[in-house]
């Protein structure tokens, strides 16, 4: 029998979201169930407030996460990735809307998703204001969930970080990742499908599966207090395409970034992926962050202060290159030293 949308189940499930979202943040002025969300924006804090907007999804990592009941983990992945994309502009994250598309709505699963997204937002001082939960039985198979989210952030116009101030002599600093984050999972899933025993392989004291499902690190807590100091010339979130295809997005056309790959400090999981896949070093650099989750550019005179601040926040950070005259490209030299 063909499954039909059960409106009563959907209404009861969504009504339960109110316990997770209502009265959680005083900036959210309406209850769950309204047609849109009302968010109180304190414009008086700014002279020229600029809104920063982004939409994101956790990619095929969500397939692996749902298959192994890591629902909360992949929601954290999605929200942290989303916030990282927002804060590279020097922005403060304000409000997030989520999207849940499924073939058949299961109250327990949907509630876990919303609760996890709300908690991930709250951890970064922003708020999940609501979103959309929709059953699409003719489009999505029962048991399948597709997640998405959008964010609104704000930055004072005079404090926007867009890379325009990057100049020769600046230093490129790596902020370490927690693992593959949310990129390279088509390859990772293929490896696990071809060799299921790989999931239990020991990788520096943890399993391969646990290592690849480690949540995407959020850098807002480590960076936010640096924003008012105007020490940062540019920030690049290193996602799909690696450092070559992300750092170049913020470079002026008059400079290049010269990156020494030998300075990278990749977590052991990257060596395990490389050994299992036997892909080239070029493809590894393109598919994965290889331990560099965020690249920060600052003046050489500010390097020591920036590093001290990041390390005081518990964030591993170290220089991996410099800015030189050029044409807006990222040039890599040396080889990544992979752990086993």
User: Which domains occur in the chain, in start order?
Assistant: 7-156 (3.30.1330.10), 171-333 (3.90.650.10)
What pLDDT does 339 receive?
A: 63
What pLDDT does 340 receive?
A: 47
Which among 247, 223, 251, 224 is positioned nearest to 237, based on CA atoms?
247
What pLDDT does 35 receive?
A: 86
- CA–CA gap between residue 296 and residue 305 (Å, rounded): 13
What pLDDT does 13 receive?
A: 66
Long-range CB contacts (within 8 A, 24+) of 59-62: 59/182, 59/183, 59/185, 60/185, 60/186, 60/189, 61/182, 61/185, 61/213, 62/145, 62/146, 62/147
What pLDDT does 34 receive?
A: 81
Per-residue pLDDT of the chain (340 residues; tens, 9 = 90+): 456 666 666 666 656 676 667 667 888 888 877 888 899 999 999 999 999 999 999 999 999 999 999 999 999 999 999 999 999 999 999 999 999 999 999 999 999 999 999 999 999 999 999 899 999 998 999 999 999 999 999 999 999 999 999 999 999 999 999 999 999 999 999 999 999 999 999 999 999 999 999 999 999 999 999 999 999 999 999 999 999 999 999 999 999 999 999 999 999 999 999 999 999 999 999 999 999 999 999 999 999 999 999 999 999 999 999 999 999 999 999 999 996 4
Instruction: Kindly report the pTM of this predicted structure.
Output: 0.94
Give backbone dihedrals phi and psi of 172, rounded to 5 degrees, phi first. -105, 120
């Amino acid at each position: 029998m063909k499954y039909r949308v059960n409106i009563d189940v959907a209404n009861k499930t969504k009504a339960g979201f109110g316990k997770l979202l209502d009265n959680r943040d005083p900036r959210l002025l309406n209850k769950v169930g309204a047609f849109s969300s009302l968010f109180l924006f304190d414009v008086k804090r700014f002279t020229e407030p600029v809104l920063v907007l982004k939409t994101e999804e956790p990619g095929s990592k969500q397939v692996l996460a749902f298959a192994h009941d890591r629902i909360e983990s992949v929601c954290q992945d999605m929200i942290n990735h989303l916030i990282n994309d927002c804060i590279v502009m020097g922005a403060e994250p304000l409000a997030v809307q989520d999207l849940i598309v499924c073939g058949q709505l299961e109250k327990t699963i949907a509630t876990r998703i919303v609760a996890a997204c709300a908690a991930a937002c709250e951890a970064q001082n922003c708020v999940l204001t609501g979103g959309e939960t929709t059953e699409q039985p003719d489009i999505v198979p029962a048991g399948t969930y597709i997640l998405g989210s959008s964010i609104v952030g704000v930055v004072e116009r005079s404090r926007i970080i867009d890379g325009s101030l990057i100049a020769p002599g600046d230093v490129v600093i790596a902020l370490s990742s927690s693992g593959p984050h949310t990129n390279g999972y088509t390859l990772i899933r293929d490896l696990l499908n071809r060799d299921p025993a790989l999931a239990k392989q020991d990788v520096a004291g943890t399993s391969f599966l646990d290592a690849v499902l480690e949540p995407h690190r959020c850098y807002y807590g480590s960076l936010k207090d640096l924003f008012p100091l105007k020490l940062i010339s540019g920030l690049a979130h290193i996602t799909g395409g690696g450092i070559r295809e992300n750092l170049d997005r913020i470079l002026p056309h008059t400079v290049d970034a010269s990156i020494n790959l030998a300075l990278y400090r990749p977590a052991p999981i990257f060596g395990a992926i490389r050994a299992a896949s036997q892909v080239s070093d070029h493809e590894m650099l393109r598919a994965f962050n290889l331990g560099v989750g965020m690249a920060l550019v600052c003046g050489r005179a500010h390097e020591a202060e920036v590093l001290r601040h990041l390390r005081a926040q518990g964030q591993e950070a170290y220089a991996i290159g410099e800015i030189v005259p050029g044409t807006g490209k990222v040039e890599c030299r040396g080889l990544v030293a992979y752990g086993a």
